[in-house]
Structure 1
Amino acid sequence: MKHLTYIEEPTLLFAQNQKLVDPRDGLSFFGPLNNIYGIKSGVVGTKKGLKIFKDYLNLIQKPVYNSNNTSRPMFPGFEAVFGCKWESNNIVFKEIVESEIGQYLYNDSPHKRTYDLVSLFIEKITKSLREDDETLDVWFIIVPEEIFTYCRPNSGIPKELIRTKSLLEKRKAKSFHYEPSFFPEMDEELRKMEKEAETYNYDAQFHDQLKARLLEHKIPTQIFRESTLAWRENLNGFGAPKRDFSKIEGHLAWTISTAAFYKAGGKPWKLGDVREKVCYLGLVYKKVEKSKNPKNACCAAQMFLDNGDGTVFKGEVGPWYNPKSGEYHLKTDEAKALISQALNSYLEQNGSCPKEVFIHAKTRFNKEEWDAFSDATPDGTNLVGITISKAKPIKLYKKEGNFPIMRGNAYVIDNRSAYLWTVGFVPKIQSALSMEVPNPLFIEINKGEADINQVLKDIMALTKLNYNACIYADGEPVTLRFADKIGEILTASTEIKTPPLAFKYYI
């Protein structure tokens, strides 16, 4: 049974019903699958941040080239690619002044300063929603370098910059409980301590906390560091660029533009070879580090259809993590509830149940959770559990040549398992998607019945649905590609309660 095979590169569908394998070629030649009139932008940042954003928008209206790198195509210009306008003079700007940043940034508690600065940015957006008449497509958050530097986990501010001291130590904040006293001045101090204690319910990570706290408002955002858009400049001593983007400047324009177009409601492309009435679920798990129980974890499911639409369904927090095995497994009720959310959503969107549901996970399914998944799945729907991991490394080498083996090679072990190289040499771009000898994914049909070759084809296709980066393909299917990041956003706060939301709100 063991044999080598090759999975043909999946095609993507663009405007005019045209198919190509490279999303950048498809957009350049034919345009996006579904278009929009234009992008109306909201921007939150400093005046300097606004200028940086406008300058970048003006830059990508024209062709953007990569220097000395022919494997990455140039960017033809935003309107030339997407057939709609995204203009620097069509922006709603909400200013963050330097004094506001200084008021919150120089606190010695990373939780306190991150929470307060996230609140500052969010208030600018929510106030606009309440008071302004204009409807915006996407909010762009332009983050000054000092916020990026000091609003991350374990980040510390130099002692000479600290202006305010935290009122509570982290260990005391977790158990702090406010009780009124007979002294008004003491009550005021205790209320301040209570407010600061609340900030420890949130991760000290600006990006993840901002995304998490905006979920209830259903606001699509794109977060940029000032130094990403203005990488040639030295920004206040913080912004000496950590990367030289000159060789991939066109690639950066592709990625930023495609993500903005998608978040504004456009559909860049979808899978070219449609398998009707099939949906794919990726299971997301993330330990809740703030929990006293080391087994507690958050779970979620990402549902993707052939048209690229993705929806995230948050499950319950519970003791899903096993420290000994390092695996996550749901109990019966929670497993039923999670898959029921996804299946009900599919039914609402399509008017009927799917013929097949493929659940992707990084660990194998146990009997209890699989029985629960099966019980919640309607008759007539084939349920298949696929384990996708990197736990069993294997290398394949070519006898000659300067490049590694081709992407799409597969070593089929039997009718339920195989190794699949989703990275490797790509003839179309005459380059490799890996800087080293590529490692394969280990694919196993862990539960249910399916054709292993079809499973491999599906996984290859799902590596081409990353609208957050306009690249040839990813190394992981989209069902699992963003699992860690979505888990971090869902666990960025113990207070987050969110309904099923489109994938674009998380990335």
Structure 2
Amino acid sequence: MEITVSARATKVSPIQIIRRSTWDEATRPPEGHSRQDEASRAWNLHVALYYKAGGVPWRLLRSPTDLTTCYVGIAFYRSDDGNALNTSVAQVFNERGDGVIVRGGPARISRTDRQPHLARADAHALQLQALDAYRREHHTAPARIVLHKTSAFTGEETGGFQDAADERFIDALEMSWVTSSEGAATFRPGDAPPLRGTRAVLGERELALYATGSIEFYRTYPGMYIPRPIGIRPVTPAREPRELAAEVLALTKMNWNQTRLDGRLPVTLRTANQVRSVLRFCPPDQAVATRYAHYM
């Protein structure tokens, strides 16, 4: 994989690989792929080049009264040989979207829920690595940590993450399990799906959010399939559901690798999933590139 070479090349600048079918209309795309329209191709290419050159295409809207926040997304992956289950922390970043990649330690599949989880010591070490990466990148410590994970939190994990926050004197730590789909659904009058941003409070620690759906500006639903909400499961409901959903929705717009404004997952987990598909080919002792620009 060419992108793996970029991930391992820690001393070189990010590269951009373009298939011939992207710019040559006479060349058919690879089997199973389609060609985007010219405007989408031009947008994706130029935004990617701008970001890889060090620019910031756009950023989160932030109130002056908001705490400086470190966003962390945790996903899990198996090594290419299938022997080891490791952790991947992708896009440790601030409101500007300046992100770095941190690779964590081993994870284990729980016998109770069949999901990957961390021991308390590993969760503690992973959070410290994320905070160290944030400080190296932004030359300051955050006042608040927002942690998204692709599996439910165990008591050991919450304890380890909290220990790391306490060790660095960070009082605000918000942890949420963000599911890729939610069993609940909502409906609106007429034939159109719910509007993007529609939320449904299902319980004190359970929230459904339509990150994709009808878009009022377009007066239509731009997708091909019936949209399904994602689930948000905060460990401790520290914020109102409206604020929690609004932040997750804003993070779905931080993907600089596409033209769509209705990304399904927050960038914390979307990039974690993308990065893990690359890191699985890199040996555990191999130094890898820390900028997300090497992986997109």
TM-score (norm 1): 0.53
User: Counterpart in 2 of 1:460?
Assistant: 249
- After superposition, residues 292-307 of structure 1 pair within 5 angstroms as 292=83, 296-302=84-90, 303-307=92-96
Corresponding position of 2:4: 209
For 1:488, the equivalent position in structure 2 comes to 277
- Shift of the 394–241 alpha-carbon distance from structure 1 to 2, 3 Å rule, reads closer
Instruction: Give 2:266's aligned residue.
Output: 477
Displacement after TM superposition at 1:225 (Å): 1.5
Other-structure match for 2:59: 270
Paired residue secondary structure (1:315)? strand
Q: What percentage of residue pairs aligned between the two structures are identical? A: 24
2 CA distance for matches of 1:364 and 1:474? 22
Aligned to 1:243: 34
The 1:386/1:495 distance shift into structure 2, 3 A limit, reads: closer
1:288-327 alignment, distance < 5 Å: 288-292=79-83, 296-302=84-90, 303-316=92-105, 318-322=106-110, 325-327=113-115
AA partner of residue 395 (structure 1): A
Structure 2 CA distance for partners of 1:463 and 1:239, relative to 1, 3 Å: closer
Question: For residues 320 and 218 of structure 1, do their structure 2 counterparts lie closer, same or farther at Cα, with a shift above 3 Å needed?
Answer: farther
How far apart in 2 are the matches of 1:263 and 1:351? 21
Asked if the contact 1:208–1:488 (Cα under 8 Å) also holds between the matched residues in 2, the reply is no
**Cα deviation, residue 370, structure 1:** 1.6
- 2:206 matches 1:413: no
Counterpart in the other structure of 1:385: 175
Matched, 1:260 2:55: no
Looking at structure 1, the residues matched to 194 and 184 of structure 2 have their Cα atoms a distance apart, in angstroms, of 13
1:322-363, Cα deviation, whole Å (9 max, x unpaired): 477331111233222211112123334555432221110111
Do the aligned partners of 1:419 and 1:440 also contact (CA within 8 Å) in 2?
A: yes
Runs (5+) with no aligned partner, structure 1: 1-205
SS of structure 2 residue aligned to 1:314: strand
For 1:500 and 1:224, how far apart are their aligned partners in 2? 20
SS in 2 for 1:466: coil
Q: Do the aligned residues in 1 keep the contact of 2:101 with 2:289 (CA within 8 Å)?
A: yes
Q: Hey, what does 1:429 align to over in structure 2?
A: 218
Matched, 1:339 2:127: yes
Contact in 1 for aligned 2:22/2:35 (Cα 8 Å): no
Match of 1:285 among 73, 76, 101: 76
C-alpha distance in structure 2 between counterparts of 1:372 and 1:241, whole Å: 43
Q: Single out whichever of 404-413 and 414-423 deviates more from structure 2.
A: 414-423
**Counterpart position of 1:367:** 155
Structure with larger Rg: 1
Is the partner of 1:283 in helix, strand or coil? strand
> Structure 1: which 4+ aligned runs deviate by more than 6 Å?
238-241
Counterpart position of 1:163 = none
d(CA) in 2 for partners of 1:497 and 1:384? 31
| Aligned partner letter, 1:279 | C
Contact between 2:80 and 2:281, CA under 8 Å: does it hold in 1?
Answer: no
Give the aligned residue type for 1:283. I
1: distance between equivalents of 2:12 and 2:103?
15
Distance 1:502 1:241, change over 3 A: closer
Contact 2:182 2:228 in 1 (8 A): no
User: Unaligned stretches of 5+ in structure 2?
Assistant: none
Q: Separation in 2 of the partners of 1:490 and 1:438?
A: 30
Partner of 2:234: 445
The aligned counterpart of 1:233 is: 26
Instruction: Output the CA distance in 1 between the equivalents of 2:126 and 2:215.
Output: 38
Contact 2:210-2:228 at 8 Å conserved across structures: yes
- Does the 8 Å contact 1:218/1:505 carry over to 2? no
Residues 1:217 and 1:370: Cα distance change in structure 2 (over 3 Å): same
In angstroms, what is the RMSD of aligned CA positions? 2.4
CA pair 229-321 structure 1, distance change in 2 beyond 3 A: farther
CA distance in 2, matches of 1:212, 1:334: 24
Maintained 8 Å contact 1:287/1:321: no
Taking the aligned partners of 2:182 and 2:43, their CA distance within structure 1 comes to 34
Residue type at the aligned position of 1:428:
F
Q: Which residue of 1 aligns with 2:287?
A: 498
Which residue number in structure 2 is paired with residue 133 of structure 1? none
Q: What letter corresponds to residue 217 of structure 1 in structure 2? A: K
- Cα distance change on mapping 1:387 and 1:482 into 2, 3 Å: same
SS at match of 1:325: coil
Deviation at 1:499, TM superposition (A): 5.8
Distance 1:417 1:234 in 2: 48
Change (3 A) 1:376 1:285: same
The offset of 1:436, in angstroms, is 1.9
Report the Cα offset of residue 291 of structure 1: 4.0
Taking the TM superposition and a 5 Å limit, the aligned residue runs for 1:391-410 are 391-401=181-191, 403-410=192-199
Alignment of 1:19-34 (within 5 A): none
Deviations 1:120-142 (A, max 9, x none): xxxxxxxxxxxxxxxxxxxxxxx
Task: Give yes or no for contact 1:423–1:433 (8 Å, CA) kept in 2.
Answer: no
Residue in structure 2 matched with residue 355 of structure 1 by the alignment = 143
